[in-house]
């Protein structure tokens, strides 16, 4: 296999990548149908928690879409404000806390930094966890003692600098990423994740096949699939996976119908490498990655809640109603 002019020899984990994707998507589809669990015979998938194949179908992304991006004023300034306010904490409970205590849907027009800071500081002091454990949210150094205060200051500075207008003027997703990457406290991974989130809105319309940034977990999974020869060409490898997906699902005789017909995009293939890194810790313990982690920390526990399936309308894939699981 040749990628970016480099000859790669896939390991056994390469085929596992495709098998994992097919089985994980089958679980998602079965849950949407309302099938009774367990939804797979794969013991690793039955016992451990993995995100969905498609980033937009995961619980937090679904909440962001329905309750943040598309719930409220659709002026792009306000969409950016709400989206980043949510994503800086990436925790549904923190968003709902602000809704309850501020008393209205947060808007940039009515934003009072001191009021929001007082709400978060009071709840933090009472022991409430404000941040999701999904991402490591490095605090920007903007002069405050508390991390959440610095993040509120960052959001204020973003809006006052008219970053939303700059994002809409960006000719490519990569340029939009570079604008966010230049902000304090945002590394490659978070800046790329935020571009993807903002691109769910009607205010941006980049193709998800245009640009990708490999996060640390994805680099671990890529190493396990291709060995050390993959170092430095991770984005090219992710592009190869997205472009060749039909070939490999067919080669392995795996059924993969996509997300209501939408194939895996670059961001989804990036995320799958993160999940396959975790899966391989059990399925292929002898195959080394970069981090040296050997266990999957999170066990699978059915939430028993409503599994939603509503996506950016511009994708044209929405189906009528969610199913109860």
Q: What is the pLDDT of residues 10-51, one digit of tens each?
A: 999 999 999 999 999 999 999 998 888 789 999 999 999 999
Do strands 6-7 and 323-324 pair parallel, antiparallel, or not at all (unpaired)?
unpaired
C-alpha 172/C-alpha 204 separation (Å) is 10
For 126, left (φ over 0), alpha (ψ -120 to 50), or beta?
A: alpha
Residue 321 has pLDDT above 60, yes or no: no
In this prediction the pTM is 0.93
| Least reliable range by pLDDT among 105-114, 221-230, 255-264, 305-314 | 305-314
Residue 178 has pLDDT above 70, yes or no: yes
* 25 close to 53: Cβ distance less than 8 angstroms: yes
C-alpha 136/C-alpha 189 separation (Å) is 10
Choose among 81, 79, 85, 84: nearest CA to 98. 85
User: What mean pLDDT value characterizes the chain?
Assistant: 93
Residue 206 has pLDDT above 50, yes or no: yes
Choose among 14, 3, 17: nearest CA to 230. 3
Local structure of residue 258 (DSSP, 8 states) = T
Residue 322 has pLDDT above 60, yes or no: no
How much of the chain exceeds pLDDT 90, in percent? Answer: 86
* 15 close to 241: Cβ distance less than 8 angstroms: no
* 131 close to 91: Cβ distance less than 8 angstroms: yes
* Residue 134, helix vs strand vs coil: coil
């Amino acid at each position: 296999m040749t990628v970016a002019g480099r000859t790669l020899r896939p390991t056994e984990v390469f085929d596992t990548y495709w098998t994992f994707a097919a089985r994980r998507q089958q679980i998602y589809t079965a849950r949407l149908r309302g099938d009774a669990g367990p939804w797979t015979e794969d013991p690793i998938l039955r016992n451990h928690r993995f995100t969905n194949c498609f980033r937009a179908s995961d619980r937090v992304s679904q909440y962001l879409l329905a309750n943040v991006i598309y719930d409220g004023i659709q002026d792009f300034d306000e969409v950016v404000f709400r989206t980043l306010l949510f994503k800086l904490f990436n925790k549904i409970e923190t968003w709902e806390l602000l809704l309850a205590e501020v008393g209205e849907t947060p808007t940039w027009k009515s934003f009072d930094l001191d009021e929001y800071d007082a709400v978060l500081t009071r709840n933090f002091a009472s022991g409430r966890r404000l941040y999701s454990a999904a991402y490591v949210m490095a605090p920007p150094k903007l002069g405050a003692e508390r991390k959440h205060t610095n993040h509120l200051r960052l959001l204020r500075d973003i809006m006052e600098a008219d970053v939303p207008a700059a994002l809409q003027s960006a000719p490519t997703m990569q340029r939009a990423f570079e604008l966010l990457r230049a902000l304090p406290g945002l590394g490659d991974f978070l800046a790329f994740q935020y571009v993807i989130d903002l691109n769910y809105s009607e205010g941006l319309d980049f193709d998800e096949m245009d640009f990708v940034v490999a996060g640390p977990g994805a680099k671990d999974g890529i190493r396990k699939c291709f060995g050390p020869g993959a170092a430095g060409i991770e984005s090219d490898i992710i592009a190869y996976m997205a472009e060749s997906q039909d070939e490999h699902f067919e080669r392995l005789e795996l059924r993969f119908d996509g997300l209501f017909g939408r194939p895996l995009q670059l961001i989804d293939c990036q995320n799958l490498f993160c999940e396959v890194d975790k899966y391989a810790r059990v399925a292929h313990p002898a195959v080394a990655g970069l981090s040296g982690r050997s266990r999957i920390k999170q066990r699978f526990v059915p939430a028993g809640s409503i599994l939603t399936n509503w996506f950016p309308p511009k994708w044209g894939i929405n189906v009528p109603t969610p199913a109860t699981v």
